[in-house]
Amino acid sequence: MKLMEYQSRQLLEEYGIPVPEAEVADTPEAASAAQAKLGGMVVVKAQVLSGGRGKAGGVRIARTPEDAAAVAGRILALEIGGHRVQRLLVTRAVKSVKEYYLSVLVDRNSKGIEAVFSDKGGITIEEAAAGHPGRIRHIALDPFRGPDEAAFLAGMGADDQGAVGGGAPGSGALDPKVARGIYEIAASLYRLCSEKDCSLVELNPLSLVEGGRLVALDAKIVVDDNGLPMHPELLPLRNPEEYGSDEIEAREAGLSYVGLDGNIGCMVNGAGLSMATMDLIKYYGAAPANFLDIGGSSNPEKVVKAFSILTGKPGVKAILINIFGGITRCDDVANGIIKARSMIEIGVPIVIRLIGTNDAKAKEILKEAGIEAYNDLGEAIKRVVSYVNGGAA
Amino acid sequence: MSILVDGDTKVIVQGITGRDGSFHARSMLAYGTKVVGGVTPGKGGTSVDSMPVFDAVDEAVRSTGADASIIFVPARFATAAIREAADSPIRLIVCITEGVPLVEMAQSYRYVKDRGKLLVGPNCPGLISPGKCKIGIMPGQIHTPGGVGVISRSGTLTYEIVYNLTKAGLGQSTCIGIGGDPITGLGFVEVLEMFGKDQGTDSVVIIGEIGGEAEEEAADYVKRGYPKKVVAFIAGRTAPPEKKMGHAGAIISGSRGTPDSKIKAFGDAGVTVVDRPDQIPAALRG
């Protein structure tokens, strides 16, 4: 679950990580009031889940209440990453002396928790990595305890003089006091990440401001979906725009679903087989309308729900069902198909491939209803592709 | 020959009195696996068919001599179950449970490793050495003994591929599903290493998918000189970016985890990458 900046800030504050003063605003009037309250120069920022806000014109400066209202009006009219901007964060403008990048994340390659630090903050870490690979430091953390101070400082590359970047010429100096401040923030990020089950907690930039203070000017947090059941307090932070309405409907029914642009609706058991089925549809010359994994359970209701999602999706011209029975019993799926046909106007051709646990029984059930099922996956896919590609098998 | 398990492996089932645990305990037993008991806290002293139930893993191991465990407990108890098994004399821990939080898995990975134990999964179908031992949820009847080692991040896709192998007359030494989560215990490279040394394995099939860099690492490992033929299939060529495709680990993030990168890495390592599962038998023979 991805959090927006204003939501991420709430968690940062809870963990004592300094952020600039700010107000949330949903209208130009509210933005104007926020500027009046904060005083002086403010930054008005679009609250969206996608990156690239600045480039899209979603981050602007304002100096007066009128200014703030005008800027807010323009940002609220924007669409960024396919979503209309609906919320703004108005923050007091902060003058950075230096911008860093700091994140704590669960790293799948090392199978551990690590911190990533760069003294090239402010740009995306991918850009920094491409332009200055030596300036990005990956620091492994103890998964149970978080960063060890000495190891962390060494990992940052802070040498005796506080220089960062392997002491390369022109790498700039890092005051030992600043380095220690960054370590302390990393320790707080680790606590946040481990206690709230995050897969990523990222500060970019983490700014050094006049007077030597460190402030997180922007933040991105991704909460691990598997951890969410343990944190009911985080559930209200879910942003509906993270998923399509059909994806939410599917999730509520216990199905795993992703909508795509093609015209063959897919219903499969298992994630890997679902992906492979989509790939084969493409291989044989058509395009899948979706990814849909009905999971391992033997519940005819799930099949009915899956049908209702697929038949409700615009552009679906045929449906392919591919079941390799293991835990999933083919006869349960067959019963679900029969039930769905009696409840829903399906209206498009269905091609079925069933094999594995109780497949003979399933084929009997389907045969009685006049439905034929394939054994061979390739045959089934060629058949369904022929339906959408003008009937030529 | 086989890897990790053989006809002598003694297995306990953590969560044996649950719906999935009892069903699969019976199914493994019926396959011929030596399922010597199970664990459900508070149900010690009872039994599931002929299999005695204990309150704790340690007690179960002392009483039965089990050296492997399979975990079916709900996600919120899975971490404790993994660590309890790791603290006992159990050598091999197979965690079927889906939905284990990532931070907990990063910690459990270290926990298990520090104790010198082997973990398969979580979010996996388990493993099977056909005709000898099944510690998992796969349909046993589609497998047949032989010389192909199978490593996969998936469940039913593995069944599809094993079915194609068996139909083509190619039996399997061991088939292992390492799991679909971002962090799993054993990875492709460790299993490749085991298959490389196993005299009963002549060739290896890797079933990968989008997300992460495990396939690229496996390709690097093979490229450094691998004694056996390797064929790979990568699922998710049509997956859109930034979307989790069912498995928590199956996601293309930015420029990472793409099918192209994996296919290219295997190609560079001399591994045949097939477009369709049914091309695997011919690729193994070719």
Q: Tell me the CATH number at B53.
A: 3.40.50.720
pLDDT bin (cut points 50, 70, 90) of residue A298 is low
Q: Name the residue in chain A with its Cα closest to that of B141.
A: A356
* In a shared domain, residues B188 and B273: yes
Instruction: Kindly report the backbone phi and psi dihedral angles of residue B12, in degrees, each rounded to the nearest multiple of 5, phi listed first.
Output: -115, 155
- Judge contact between A101 and A118, C-beta under 8 A: yes
Return d(Cα B155, Cα B184) in angstroms, integer: 14
> What pLDDT is attached to residue B76?
95
- Report CB contact under 8 Å: B239, A287: no
Smallest CA–CA distance, residue B253 to chain A, in Å, is 12
Q: Which of B96, B238, B251 to mutate to test the interface with A (most CBs of A within 10 A)?
A: B238
B110 and B171 inside one domain: no
Given a cut of 90, whether residue A157 has pLDDT beyond it is no
> First and final CA of chain B: distance in angstroms?
24
Chain A residues with CB under 8 Å of B278 CB are: 377-378
> What SS3 class is residue A356?
strand
Q: Which residues of B touch A278 (CB under 8 A)?
A: 238-239
Q: Looking at the partner chain, which of A225, A279, A378 has a beta carbon nearest the beta carbon of B235?
A: A279
Q: Pick the last residue of a domain from B66, B89, B120.
A: B120
- Output the six-digit token pair for A160: 């005796």
**Strands A96-107 and A112-118: what pairing?**
antiparallel
Residue B258 lies in a domain: yes
Output the six-digit token pair for A42: 């403010």
Least confident span in A81-90, A146-155, A245-254, A255-264? A245-254
Helix (H) or strand (E) holding A355: strand A350-356
Residues B70 and B206 reside in one and the same domain? no
Interchain proximity A272–B153, CB inside 8 Å: yes
Kindly report, residue by residue over A330-388, the tens digit of the pLDDT: 998 999 999 999 998 888 999 999 998 889 999 999 999 888 899 999 999 999 999 99
Domain shared by B74 and B183, yes or no: no
Q: pLDDT tens across A256-274, in order?
A: 999 999 999 999 999 999 9
Closest by Cβ to B138, choosing from A197, A283, A326? A326
- Alpha-carbon distance of B25 to B40, in angstroms, equals 13
Q: Do residues B112 and B24 share a domain?
A: yes
One domain, residues B219 and B256 = yes
A107, A230, A356 ranked by CB distance to B159: nearest: A356
**B275 and B155 share a domain?**
yes
Compare CB distances from B159 to A225, A230, A326 and report the shortest one's residue.
A326
pLDDT band at A392 (very low <50, low <70, confident <90, very high): very low
In the predicted model, is pLDDT for residue A101 greater than 50? Answer: yes
Q: What is the pLDDT of residues A318-337, one digit of tens each?
A: 999 999 988 788 998 999 99
CATH of the domain at B244: 3.40.50.261
B159 neighbourhood in chain A, CB within 8 Å: 273, 324, 326, 356
Residues of A with a catalytic annotation lie at 101, 202
Burial of B190 (0-12, 13-18, 19+ CB in 10 A): middle
**In chain B, residues 111-130 whose CB comes closer than 8 Å to chain A:** 125
The shortest CB-CB distance from A326 to any of B75, B156, B236 is to B156
Positions in chain B whose pLDDT score sits under 70: none
Cα dihedral value A330, A331, A333, A334, nearest 10: 120
DSSP 8-class letter at A186: H
Chain B stretch 177-236, residues whose beta carbon is closer than 8 A to a beta carbon of chain A: 180, 182-183, 187, 207, 209-210, 212-214, 217, 233, 235-236
More confident residue, A212 or B15: B15
- Structural domain including B226 reads 138-285
Residue B199 within any structural domain of the chain: yes
Size of interface A-B (CB pairs under 8 A): 172
Residues 77-116 of B with CB under 8 A from A: 99-107, 109-110
Is residue B132 one of the residues assigned to a domain?
Answer: no
- Residues B73, B196 within the same domain: no
Whether B177 and B275 share a structural domain: yes
What is the model's pLDDT at position A253? Answer: 86
A276-300 mean pLDDT: 91
Residues of B in contact with A106 (CB under 8 A): 102-103, 106, 182-183
ipTM of the complex, rounded to two decimals: 0.94
In the predicted structure, residue A170 carries a pLDDT above the cut 50: no
Please tell me the predicted confidence (pLDDT) of residue A393. Answer: 43
Q: Which of B109, B139, B156 sits opposite A272 (nearest CB)?
A: B156
Give how many domains chain B has, as a whole number: 2
Tokens coding B179 = 């799991």
Q: State the best of A142, A223, A269, A274 to mutate against chain B, taking most chain B CBs within 10 Å.
A: A274
Q: Which amino acid is at A291?
A: F
pTM of structure:
0.93
Quote the DSSP letter at residue A79: E
Q: Where are the alpha helices (DSSP H) in chain A?
A: 5-14, 28-38, 65-76, 125-131, 149-156, 176-195, 245-252, 271-283, 300-311, 330-343, 359-368, 377-388
Give the pLDDT score at B286: 83
Q: What is the pLDDT of residues A27-59, one digit of tens each?
A: 999 999 999 999 999 999 999 998 889 889 999
Contact A363, A338 (CB under 8 A): no
Report yes or no: B270 at the A interface, CB cutoff 8 Å.
Answer: no
List the one residue out of A47, A2, A3 whose CA is nearest residue A23.
A47
Residue A136's pLDDT band (cuts 50, 70, 90): confident
Largest alpha-carbon pair distance within chain B?
56
- Spell out which residues of chain B touch residue A230, defining contact as CB-CB under 8 Å: 76, 101
Distant-in-sequence, close-in-space partners of B197: CB < 8 Å, separation ≥ 6: none
Same domain assignment for residues B92 and B49: yes
- Map out the domains of chain A with their CATH numbers: 21-92 (3.30.1490.20), 96-237 (3.30.470.20), 244-388 (3.40.50.261)
How many Cα atoms within 13 Å fall on the side-chain side of residue B180?
A: 29
Q: Is residue B185 part of a domain?
A: yes
- Cβ distance A270 to B138 less than 8 Å, yes or no, reads no
Chain A residue with CA closest to B237: the answer is A279
HEC profile for chain B?
A: CCCCCCCCCEEEEECCCCHHHHHHHHHHHHHCCEEEEEECCCCCCCEECCEEEECCHHHHHHHHCCCEEEECCCHHHHHHHHHHHHHCCCCEEEECCCCCCHHHHHHHHHHHHHCCCEEECCCCCEEEECCCEEEECCCHHHCCEEEEEEEECCCHHHHHHHHHHHHCCCCEEEEEECCCCCCCCCCHHHHHHHHHHCCCCCEEEEEEECCCCHHHHHHHHHHCCCCCEEEEEEECCCCCCCCCCCCCCCCCECCECCHHHHHHHHHHCCCEECCCHHHHHHHHHC
pLDDT at position A172, please? 52
For residue B207, being part of any structural domain is answered with yes
Assess if residue B196 is contained within a domain: yes
| Cβ atoms of A260 and A291 closer than 8 Å | yes
Q: pLDDT band at residue A171, thresholds of 50, 70 and 90?
A: very low
How many CA atoms lie within 13 Å of B268's alpha carbon, on the beta-carbon side?
Answer: 14
Residue B93 shares a structural domain with residue B189: no
Residue B130 within any structural domain of the chain = no
Residues B216, B113, single domain; the answer is no
* Beta carbons of B245 and B251 less than 8 angstroms apart: yes
Question: Among B70, B90, B120, where does a domain finish?
Answer: B120
In a domain, B125, yes or no: no
Strand ranges across the sheet with B172-177: B133-136, B126-129, B172-177, B145-152, B203-209, B229-235, B272-273
Cα separation of B244 and B212, whole Å?
12
